[in-house]
Amino acid sequence: MRVVYNILFVLFFWLSAPWYFLKMWRRGNWRAGFGQRFARYGSDLQNSLGQRPVIWLHAVSVGEVGVCLPLLRALEPAWPGVQFVVSTTTSTGMGELRRRLPPHVPATYYPADFPGVVRRALDIIRPRAIILVEAELWPNLLWQAQDRDIPLLLVNARLSERSFKGYGRFSLVFRAIFAKFRAVGCQQMEDAKRLVALGFPAEAVRVVGNMKFDAAQPDARPGLDVPGLLRQIGVKTNAKLFVAGSTHAGEEAVLAEMWPRLRQRFPDLFLILVPRHFERAKEVGQELATRKIPFAYRSEVTSEKQLPPGQLECLLVNSTGELKFFYEHASLVFVGKSLTAEGGQNPIEPAALGKAMVFGPNMQNFKAITAAFLSAQSAVQVPDAAGLEKAIAELLADDQRRAELGARALQVVRQNLGATARTVQLITERLEPRPLP
């Protein structure tokens, strides 16, 4: 089975390489750390690991990094003699790690799933355990970790119906791998049932809740001075701020089309538009320019640039890691990837800040979370673009309803806290038979 998989992986890798490298090029910063993707780490990583036992945490991208960091902070006091290393797959995830990881915890890219690359990564990192956040289950890493008797753990796991069927089609590959996982912390009972059906040991699977609720809690790190930035570009102090977060292709066009009508009704309304992938900013800017919506790119706003009041109607954020700071000052939030794309983005972040939010019909990746907010009447879901415009206008006109939505959303978040502590307990219990230090 390994031989067949590796032949197919090599073929798929080279066939998809042009698209993959084009995507990396568009996102920028692809050269930095590129060798790490092939386990070419250099001396810095090896020196930082030293001789202490290592636990390897893997977080695929920005969302998983947000979960991984509180988990890391909770695990370090439990194992003071352990060196942690955190990997990610995307350049945006790496940017977040570099901003937020403590200096003593090295960050690296996840190795491509070639047998030799994985072997070299394990030889250098020498992990005593590997903890995967949510899911990125590459067979060669899992096979070789199990060959070396390295415990594998999966945390904050969720499994959609689509992913369940996908893994089921390749059960010959994955069932034997899944059977050897030491621990699996999953978000809800539905996930647990699907994971066990795929071959994870029933005794290893535990429902602990969703760590994204804990990860969304405000932290003490210095934030962006959003009011100061907005004053600098001429936004009135009492302006209503509509933040469209993590938008995808097509959603910006919808918002731009309705914007003149919204501005006619709410003259002091200001749009903060944050595309999920910042490399799309130029494309989004062209859409705004076509609609004659005056805007500025976030990267162009410097301390030397002061604009007169009323000149702009939109700030187009072409940076990463700042969405949460804009959410803090929002009058109303639109959660992207929910109207013209499928899956949805994380609604917990604005909810944890007590913000009223609206999203489209496509929240498949946050099905249980969305249901919790809707059942508590703490968010508004719309069926289409016309419904979105109607909901935005109604909510902007009703300060009390926005406040009530935000307060109920915050209550839902508070009711779901504690998953990180339960996950740490699970990890500690399952690694006790093999002491780490």
Residue 156 CA, distance from chain mean position: 12
Overall average pLDDT of the 406-412 stretch = 98
pLDDT at 437 over 80: no
Contacts of 337 (CB under 8 A, 6+ apart): 246, 247, 248, 251, 276, 343, 344, 345, 362
For 78-89, how does the pLDDT look when each residue is reduced to its tens digit (9 = 90+)? 898 899 999 999
Overall average pLDDT of the 90-99 stretch = 90
- Give the mean pLDDT of the chain: 92
Overall average pLDDT of the 258-274 stretch = 97
Per-residue pLDDT band for 221 (boundaries 50, 70, 90) equals: low
pLDDT value at residue 28? 63
Q: The CATH number of 226-415 is which of 3.40.50.2000, 1.20.140.10, 3.30.499.10, 3.40.50.300?
A: 3.40.50.2000
Overall average pLDDT of the 409-434 stretch = 92
pLDDT value at residue 26? 67
pLDDT value at residue 263? 97
pLDDT at 159 over 60: yes
Share of the chain above pLDDT 70, in %: 95
Q: The CATH number of 2-217+418-431 is which of 1.10.10.10, 3.40.50.11720, 1.20.1250.20, 3.30.470.10?
A: 3.40.50.11720
Tell me the DSSP string of 348-377. Answer: HHHHHTT--EEE-S--GGGHHHHHHHHHTT
pLDDT value at residue 433? 55
Per-residue pLDDT band for 308 (boundaries 50, 70, 90) equals: confident
pLDDT value at residue 434? 56
pLDDT at 202 over 90: yes
In which order are the strands placed within the sheet that holds 314-316? 295-297, 314-316, 269-275, 240-247, 332-335, 357-359, 380-381
**How many angstroms separate the CA atoms of 31 and 24, rounded?**
9
Overall average pLDDT of the 368-386 stretch = 97
Q: Which amino acid is at 428?
A: T
Side-chain half-sphere CA neighbours of 412 within 13 A: 30
CA neighbor of 307 nearest in space, from 247, 229, 254, 242: 229
**Does the pTM of the predicted model rise above 0.85?**
yes
Contacts of 133 (CB under 8 A, 6+ apart): 57, 58, 59, 60, 64, 67, 68, 71, 155, 156
Ramachandran category for residue 381: left, alpha or beta (phi over 0 → left; psi -120 to 50 → alpha): beta
Q: Do the first three CATH levels of 2-217+418-431 and 226-415 match, i.e. the same topology? A: yes
**How many angstroms separate the CA atoms of 347 and 336, rounded?**
9
3-state secondary structure of 414: helix
User: To the nearest 10°, the Cα dihedral for 73, 77, 82, 88?
Assistant: -10
Q: Where are the domains of the chain?
A: 2-217+418-431, 226-415
Overall average pLDDT of the 56-77 stretch = 94
Tell me the DSSP string of 253-305. Answer: HHHHHHHHHHHHH-TTEEEEEEESSGGGHHHHHHHHHHTT--EEEGGG--TT-
Q: Say if residue 333 is exposed, middle or buried (CB neighbours under 10 Å; 0-12, 13-18, 19+).
A: buried
Q: At what angle do helices 385-396 and 399-415 cross, to 10 degrees?
A: 110
